[in-house]
Amino acid sequence: MFDDLRDDLQAAKMRDPAARSSLEILLCYPGIWAIILHRWNHWLWTHHLPFWGRFFSQISRFLTGIEIHPGAQIGKRVFIDHGMGIVIGETTIVGDDVLIYQGVVLGGTSLSKGKRHPTVEDAVVIGSGAKVLGNITLGCSCKVGAGAVVLQDVPRGATAVGVPSRIIREDRKCVLDLEHEFPDPVSSAIDLLLERQEELEKRVNILSHFHDIEHVELSHDSEVEEVFKGADEKLFYRLNNYIDDE
């Protein structure tokens, strides 16, 4: 028990740069309280005292704002950062060295009595407000972005974002880190457009130089016609099909 507590305090120090001392973590971190109380509640649940496990889990929920069903299996060095609004269902399995932020739901999508909640493997990071639903697996060292809704398995070392979630990266090793560098799809699309624009400008410059029309002032439709007819009559008629008469 005391070994687990020492590991929990050490995990909080590693994962939270604001942590200054073990005493501060023990007295001021509701995520630590929730894990400690859950271990007691889980012991009651597994020793044929389910009512008392549920009863004390509700007291823990009142004190911490974190609801963990006493039947859930929580591994070692699991750190719940801030934690308000977290819900972890009965058949959830959470591995070691997992980091969970506030607002996360590890919930079910079935009314069956069997396994209906997620399995979270070691060293997983689950961002704020993420919803992981159903009997699915988050692979070792994967990441779930803030606000994501995960309904399918996430491969080992992958990164999942969005609603519903999609895999945007699959090259992470199973290591413990806190990098949150998710690619921005809007920025990526703009970069592609700029690259395409640059490529088209180069082609226009090459055509202008080839047809010797770089320094010609085009102020009237007749001048445009003469320039292109002089350069390439077929090119003019081909372009003319795409020009509005107005």
* Residue 176, burial from CB neighbour count under 10 angstroms (0-12, 13-18, 19+): middle
Contacts 24+ apart (CB under 8 A), 137-141: 140/95, 140/174, 141/172, 141/173, 141/174, 141/175, 141/176
Query: Could you report the per-residue pLDDT of 34-45, keeping only the tens digit for each?
Result: 999 999 999 999
What is the predicted pLDDT for the residue at 240? 55
pTM: 0.67
* Averaged confidence pLDDT in the chain: 81
* Alpha-carbon torsion (3, 177, 64, 130), positive or negative: negative
Cα distance from N-terminal residue to C-terminal residue, the chain: 83
Mean pLDDT of 126-151: 91
Question: What's the pLDDT band for 165 if we cut at 50, 70, 90?
Answer: confident
Q: Encoding tokens for residue 98?
A: 């997992």
Query: Could you report the per-residue pLDDT of 78-133, keeping only the tens digit for each?
Result: 999 888 999 999 999 999 989 999 999 999 888 888 899 999 999 899 999 999 99
- Rounded Cα gap, residues 61 and 84, in angstroms: 10
* Residue 215, burial from CB neighbour count under 10 angstroms (0-12, 13-18, 19+): exposed
Buried b (16+ CB within 10 A) or exposed e, 114-150: eebbbbbbbbbbbbebbbbbbbbbbbbbbbbbbebbb
- Rounded Cα gap, residues 92 and 179, in angstroms: 25
